[in-house]
């Protein structure tokens, strides 16, 4: 089954339309081997979690009052015209003639109902507007082939400049930020993959293999000496152990996030010679000059946490994506003041 047919079937099933069970099963099987269709399937699932739109109470009340006043004006105008007609006074002004036409076009029984009709119409318009805004925020942008289609989505607010990006990657800048309380987690780097400290194990781990050498002081002190440490990795590749100076073993986990339920790992070639240094973008990327990632990146959509995702111009998220600075502290990027780069976990 090709991508177009799979998308049609998944969309129809999500909308409650009758679909062939065999074709639906084939569409799900196709998503298991196609990253883009898998992301579409995940997006459809997330749409079900979008709350029902509701217009602001203050706006509805204000519009109901306005519509009630309009209905009262219509009733008053119609009454005045009937009084003039009964008294035999002719209507000579253009405004009077327009009022007479309104009286003929609007029967007496219609005017009291104007308020309810107008209010209902206002609520419907506002609800549709809120619903459309929520849908755009949920879907983000879509990419078809080599053509990128962007919706208007506000980029995350940052205070970064091109000069700041270069300064933030240096250990001295890290020390300055440490003084302000913006201290990075205890990170180490192995083959450009970033790991964060989980804790300490007293004895050596078992059933592990040698993963390589980590260069770090394993300390937050600026004056600590950087040493080379042999690292050991678990059989599933998810846990790293490094022997400390006191003979205990420090345990680390990969820094990951998900996009379309697929895991991505934080990568960087910034030298993490001690704990407390923020990883930056790989050297092959120039630091973005603007908050929207340009000229290095372009907005693509969002990940499973709702964070905006940026890709290299003409790139795809399946090859990796960037996250803008200033995420919340509980985000996998931990509030990193740098742009960060995430690659598929293979």
The pLDDT value given to residue 39 = 85
Residues 6+ apart with CB under 8 A from 135: 47, 50
Residue 218 above 80 pLDDT?
yes
- Burial class of residue 137 in the structure, from the number of CB atoms within 10 Å of its CB (0-12 exposed, 13-18 middle, 19+ buried): middle
User: Would you place residue 123 in the very low, low, confident or very high pLDDT band (cuts 50, 70, 90)?
Assistant: very low
Helix residue ranges per DSSP H, the chain? 3-14, 21-31, 35-47, 57-87, 94-105, 114-139, 162-168, 171-179
Sign of CA dihedral 87, 89, 91, 95: negative
Name the residue among 200, 196, 227, 201 with its Cα closest to residue 214.
Answer: 227
| Measured distance CA(184)–CA(336) in Å, rounded | 7
Task: Evaluate whether 241 touches 200 at the Cβ level (below 8 Å).
Answer: no
Mean pLDDT of the chain: 75
CA distance 323 to 158: 12
223-248 mean pLDDT: 89
Bridge partners of residue 323, in order along the sequence: 340
Q: What are phi and psi of 209, to 5 degrees?
A: -125, 155
Token pair of 253 as six digits: 């986990």
- Other Cβ atoms less than 10 A from the Cβ of 288: the count is 23
Assessment of whether the complete model's pTM goes beyond 0.85: no
34 CB contacts (<8 Å, ≥6 apart)? 3, 6
Q: What would the mean pLDDT of 190-213 be, rounded to a whole number?
A: 85
Q: Which two tokens stand for residue 276?
A: 């407390």
19 — pLDDT class (breaks 50, 70, 90) = confident
**Tokens, residue 122:** 């206002």
Note whether 120 and 72 are within 8 A (CB): no
Which residue has better confidence, 20 or 180?
20
């Amino acid at each position: 089954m090709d991508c177009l047919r799979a998308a049609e079937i998944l969309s129809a099933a999500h909308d409650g339309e009758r679909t062939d069970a065999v074709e639906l099963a084939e569409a799900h099987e196709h998503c298991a081997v196609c990253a883009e269709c898998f992301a579409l399937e995940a997006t459809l699932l997330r749409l079900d979690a979008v709350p029902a739109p509701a217009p602001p109470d203050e706006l509805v009340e204000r519009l109901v009052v306005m519509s009630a006043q309009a209905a009262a004006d219509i009733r008053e105008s119609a009454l005045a015209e009937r009084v003039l007609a009964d008294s035999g006074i002719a209507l000579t002004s253009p405004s009077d003639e327009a009022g007479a036409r309104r009286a003929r076009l609007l029967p007496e029984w219609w005017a009291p109902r104007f308020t309810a009709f107008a209010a209902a119409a206002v609520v419907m318009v506002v609800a549709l507007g809120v619903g459309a805004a929520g849908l755009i925020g949920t879907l983000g942008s879509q990419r078809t082939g080599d053509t990128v289609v962007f919706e208007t989505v506000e980029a995350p607010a940052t205070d970064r400049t091109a000069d700041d990006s270069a300064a933030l990657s240096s250990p001295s800048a890290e020390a300055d930020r440490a003084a302000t309380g913006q201290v990075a987690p205890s990170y180490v780097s192995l083959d450009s993959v970033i790991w964060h400290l989980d804790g300490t194990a007293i004895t050596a781990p078992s059933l592990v293999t040698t993963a390589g050498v980590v260069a770090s002081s394993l300390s937050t002190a600026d004056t600590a000496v950087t040493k080379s440490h042999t690292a050991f990795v678990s059989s599933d590749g998810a846990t790293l152990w490094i022997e400390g100076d006191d003979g205990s073993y420090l345990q680390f986990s990969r820094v990951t996030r998900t996009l379309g339920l697929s895991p991505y790992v934080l990568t960087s070639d910034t030298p993490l010679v001690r704990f407390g240094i923020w990883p930056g973008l790989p050297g092959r990327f120039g630091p973005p000059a603007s908050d929207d990632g340009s000229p290095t990146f372009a907005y693509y959509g969002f990940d499973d946490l709702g964070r905006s995702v940026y890709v290299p111009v003409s790139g795809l998220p399946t090859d990796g994506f960037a996250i803008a600075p200033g995420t919340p502290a509980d985000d996998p990027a931990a509030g990193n003041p740098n742009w960060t780069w995430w690659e598929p976990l293979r």
